[in-house]
Amino acid sequence: MSTTTAYSVDGMTCGHCVASVTEEITALAGAENVTVDLVKGGTSQVTVTSAATLDRALVAAAVEEAGYQLVAA
């Protein structure tokens, strides 16, 4: 059974940003699908479907690797 978790990410402004974040999160073990609702220059919603709940620290590190910041929950 899959689980879906929504994260808020600051700093994304374009499709390239979305692709970078999607690529980094998809590379995490267990991640199955990533969708991004882009809010240019604001806080975008990133929804991750995974086999099990992903460690928030790992998701934050993946987002930071792409050059953006996970907003505190």
Q: What is the pLDDT along the chain (73 residues), one digit of tens a residue?
A: 899 999 999 999 999 999 999 999 999 999 999 999 999 989 999 999 999 999 999 999 999 999 999 998 6
User: In angstroms, how far is CA 23 from the centroid of its own chain?
Assistant: 9
Q: Give the per-residue pLDDT at 9.
A: 97
Domain extent, residue 54, equals 3-72
Q: What is the CATH number of the domain that holds 10?
A: 3.30.70.100
Q: Pairing between strand 3-10 and 43-50?
A: antiparallel
* Global pTM exceeds 0.75: yes
Query: What is the number of structural domains in the chain?
Result: 1
* Closest listed residue to residue 28, CA positions, set 52, 1, 10: 52
